[in-house]
Amino acid sequence: MKDKFYAYIQNLQDQICAGLEAVDGTTKFREDLWKRPEGGGGRTRVIENGAVFEKGGVNISAVHGKLPDTMQKMFGVGEADFFACGLSLVLHPKNPMVPTVHANWRYFEMYDETGKVINQWFGGGQDLTPYYLFEEDAKHFHQTCKTACDKHSSEFYPKYKKQCDSYFWNAHRNEARGLGGLFFDYCKANEQMSMENWYDFVTEVGNSFLEAYVPIVERRKNLEYSSEQRTWQEIRRGRYVEFNLVHDKGTLFGLKTNGRIESILMSLPPHVQWVYDHHPEAGSEEEKLINVLTNPIDWV
């Protein structure tokens, strides 16, 4: 399974990067190959200063070795070996009318002293973080997520949509990071789903990413915007940074397992503001967004 899924994310990285380069039209991803001293490595691809994407990354990694002490405590196990691979992407567009997007699909195995697999699971999801609320875009993104889920179980979309709203929640701000999407983790074999079934589901969601995001980018990338709207985008990006550095499990896992720091922190946007005690003007489009972020709604 680990070889099968790693081959899948290698191909998916190629597909997504090609799709995004076509949307941007002016620049290409830079690729860096890296090795982890304890075992494994990855392929980081970053796009910067394009016509559409100010900064973004589409990264894959496959790491293995001894499970660090901090991770042993997190999983409630003793000494063990592990393997983890996944694709993680974040895109920060230049135009504040185009939403930021994040997605991740991953697979994890743990082994006993004989090398036998004692635990394995999939995780992942995709979520949208706009700066201005276009309900048409939110509905499109969520409908694409639902369509992918419904091919495998009618229970998946409502369950994983709710988990996404719960996970991407900036508790210290009492607001969502964005408009959500899907979030699933610890997807293990059970009476209803084998690991092959989970593989089929996770790859279905991964394959839906460009369909979920690219039409939104195409609709919004040429809209005009003001310097005030750009400032609002940078203030909201600050909330994005806060979540990634304070709450995100993926960031924590990368730091605790001695991942490549440039790859881990590629999710951070290049231009961000923290304005003291900032509140949007009453009745404004900015306030409209905040109202949705403090009270997540059902889009489909």
Could you tell me which of 190, 209, 257 has the C-alpha nearest to residue 23? 209
Give just the sign of the alpha carbon dihedral 230, 245, 63, 199.
negative
- DSSP character for 99? P
Of 50, 54, 60, 48, the closest CA to residue 14 belongs to 60
Distance of CA 77 to the CA centre of its chain: 27
| Residue 250 identity (one-letter amino acid) | G
Q: Which two tokens stand for residue 88?
A: 């993680």
Asked if 3 and 117 count as a contact pair (C-beta separation under 8 A), the reply is: no
Q: Find the catalytic residue in 64, 92, 102, 152.
A: 102
For residue 300, what are its two tokens?
């489909």
**110: nearest Cα among 86, 70, 79, 69:** 79
Active site (annotated) includes residue 142: no
Residues with a catalytic annotation lie at 102
